[in-house]
Amino acid sequence: MKYESQRIAYWFFATCMLLFGLQIVYGFIMAFAHAGMDGLHDVIPFHTARATHTNLLVMWNLCGFMGAAYYIVPEEAEREL
């Protein structure tokens, strides 16, 4: 990385990947529940999994855009933030 302030972008991208993985897990939970194999219904009801799945989509997109901004802005400005 050319600028020290670009290191912040790494944490945003790592968080983004973690949230994306959680979204996939909640998607599988909902898919199994929809198919009738709902063993986790007492722990995670379907409506809670659906809301969490949608919120995770918003959060990992925002984290990705923030990480991209922290990476691209110093490159374009040619100086530290």
pLDDT in tens, 25-68: 999 999 999 898 878 888 899 999 999 999 999 999 999 999 99
What does pTM read for this prediction? 0.86
Nearest Cα neighbor of 28 from 49, 45, 58 is 49
Non-local (6+) Cβ contacts of 15 within 8 A are 60, 63
Q: Is the pLDDT of residue 72 over 90?
A: yes
Residue closest to 38 by CA, chosen among 53, 52, 28: 28
Q: Mean per-residue pLDDT for 4-28?
A: 96
pLDDT of the residue at 2:
87
Q: What does the block give as tokens for 73?
A: 């802005």
The reported pLDDT for the residue numbered 64 is 97
Cβ(69)–Cβ(5) below 8 Å: no
Q: Give the integer Cα–Cα distance in Å for 14 and 65.
A: 13
State mean pLDDT over 12-34: 96
